[in-house]
């Protein structure tokens, strides 16, 4: 609660989008890891569509951020690798991307997939890699 984190409840994962919309309406930024998990190999995993759903429902811009640097199988291992400087760390911030369904366009699976791909290709470009999905 202190950090304002919106946790993913295992019993009802669909509530995450609603909870994030509340935070956005209250004026808070929301940071999302669209792939939903750590990837110690450093390659991109297929992203989930929650970031696209939030962007389309809220109209709030998505600011893509690319990360290239130390990773780890666990949060502790990743933090240790960052602090021990096992690899150079690069973080690049892209230009805001705006998406909106405006209530007139239905939010379909195809629209969510297309929007997610657009976001992830921007992230991949900033991270110096490719998004193969």
pLDDT in tens, 91-105: 999 999 999 776 677
Convert the pLDDT of each residue in 76-88 to its tens digit. Answer: 777 777 777 767 7
Asked if pLDDT for residue 1 goes beyond 70, the answer is no
- Counting every residue, how long is the chain? 133
Averaged pLDDT score across all residues of the chain: 86
The structure tokens 């690798």 sit at 81
Does residue 25 or residue 72 have the better pLDDT?
25
- Between CA 57 and CA 103 the distance in angstroms is 8
Mean pLDDT, residues 49-71: 90
Asked if pLDDT for residue 129 goes beyond 90, the answer is yes
The structure tokens 């509530």 sit at 15
Mean pLDDT, residues 34-53: 85
């Amino acid at each position: 609660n202190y950090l304002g984190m919106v946790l993913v409840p295992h019993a009802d994962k669909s509530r995450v989008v609603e909870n994030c919309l509340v935070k956005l309406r209250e004026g808070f930024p929301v940071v999302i890891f669209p792939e939903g998990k750590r990837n110690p190999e450093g390659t991109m995993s297929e992203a989930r569509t929650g970031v696209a759903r939030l962007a389309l429902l809220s109209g709030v811009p998505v600011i893509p951020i690319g990360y290239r640097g130390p990773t780890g199988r666990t949060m502790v291992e990743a933090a240790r690798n960052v602090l021990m400087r096992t690899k150079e760390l690069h973080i690049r911030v892209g230009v805001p991307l705006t998406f909106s369904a405006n209530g007139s366009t239905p939010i379909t699976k195809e629209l969510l997939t297309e929007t997610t791909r657009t976001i992830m290709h921007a992230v991949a470009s900033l991270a110096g890699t490719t998004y193969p999905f």
